[in-house]
């Protein structure tokens, strides 16, 4: 069976290490798995219930529709101040208000990249907490926390150079496909 996953990026930085990973995933995906990027979290206004009452902003609806139609979501994000970057949290806050809620029962994989030693582990567990409330089905293992990023990227060429990291990412994508198989078809939008 072919699978289609979408990627949500938690960094707005042009040279983002997480962005490099997110853009590399389609090439690393095992056969039969297609991966594409969602729109930028920078296109979403700050969440405001009053704004929501006037109608969901178009970029929020577009993001929600693509997630709903996908077999799974891959969130690739930095850790900011030991937690989830505000821009990513803002995107999740918008998505959580849409009905039907696009992350409900959706298989989700998390990847974090940091120049630090533990690769964004703390942000992963804060992100998991929000995803519990949203009723997403978060892949437990393998956990992808890419630390010591300076040794694994060519930042001038915007490339992930470390082969072991590439193999590891491919394994997690396969694990997400296996989880999606167990969970079943994506719900209709």
Min dist. Cβ of residue 21 to ligand FNR (A): 8
Q: How far apart are CB 118 and ligand FNR at their closest, in Å? A: 7
Q: Which of 2, 81, 99, 163 binds ligand FNR (CB under 6 A)?
A: 81
Closest distance of CB 148 from ligand FNR, Å: 11
Site string for ligand FNR, 115-154 (x = CB under 6 A): xx---x----------------------------------
**Considering the complex, what minimum distance in angstroms separates the CB of residue 152 from ligand FNR?**
12
- 78 touching ligand FNR, by CB under 6 A: yes
- Say whether residue 87 binds ligand FNR (CB under 6 A): no
Confirm or reject binding of residue 17 to ligand FNR (CB under 6 A). Answer: yes
Cβ-contact 134, 101 below 8 angstroms: yes
* 22/177 with CB nearer ligand FNR: 22
Cα–Cα distance, 161 to 130 (Å, whole number): 32
- Taken in order 118, 155, 66, 50, is the CA torsion positive or negative? positive
User: Could you say which of 7, 24, 114, 124 contacts ligand FNR (CB under 6 A)?
Assistant: 114
Q: What is the DSSP string of the chain?
A: --EEEEEEE----TT-HHHHHHHHHHHHSPTTEEEEEPPPGGGSPPP-HHHHHT---HHHHHHHHHHHHSSEEEEEE--BTTB--HHHHHHHHHHHTSSS-TTTT-EEEEEEE-SSTTTTHHHHHHHHHHHHHTT-EE--SS-EEE-SGGGTEETTTTEE--HHHHHHHHHHHHHHHHHHHHH-SPPP-
Establish if 57 lies at the interface with ligand FNR (CB under 6 A).
no
Can residue 7 be called a binding residue for ligand FNR (CB under 6 A)? no
Measured from the CB of residue 104, what is the shortest distance to ligand FNR in angstroms? 28
How far is the C-alpha of 150 from the C-alpha of 165, rounded, in Å? 13
Size of the site for ligand FNR (CB under 6 A): 16
Provide the binding-site residues for ligand FNR, judged by CB under 6 A: 11, 13, 16-19, 78-82, 113-116, 120
């Amino acid at each position: 069976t072919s699978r289609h996953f979408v990627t949500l990026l938690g960094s707005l930085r042009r040279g983002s290490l997480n962005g490099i990973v997110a853009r590399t995933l389609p090439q690393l995906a095992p056969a039969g798995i297609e991966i594409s990027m969602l729109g930028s979290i920078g296109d979403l206004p700050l969440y405001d219930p009053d704004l929501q009452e006037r109608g969901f902003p178009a970029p929020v609806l577009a993001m929600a529709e693509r997630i709903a139609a996908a077999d799974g979501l891959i969130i690739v994000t930095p850790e900011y101040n030991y937690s989830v970057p505000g821009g990513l949290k803002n995107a999740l806050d918008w998505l959580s208000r849409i009905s039907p809620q696009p992350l409900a029962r959706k298989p989700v994989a998390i990847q974090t990249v940091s120049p630090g030693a533990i690769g964004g582990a703390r942000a992963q567990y804060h992100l998991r907490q929000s995803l519990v409330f949203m009723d997403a089905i978060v892949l437990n293992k393998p956990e992808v926390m890419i630390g010591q990023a300076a040794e694994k990227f060519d930042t001038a060429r915007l490339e992930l150079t470390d082969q072991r990291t590439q193999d590891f990412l491919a394994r997690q994508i396969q694990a997400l496909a296996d989880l999606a198989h167990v969970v079943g078809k994506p719900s209709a939008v």
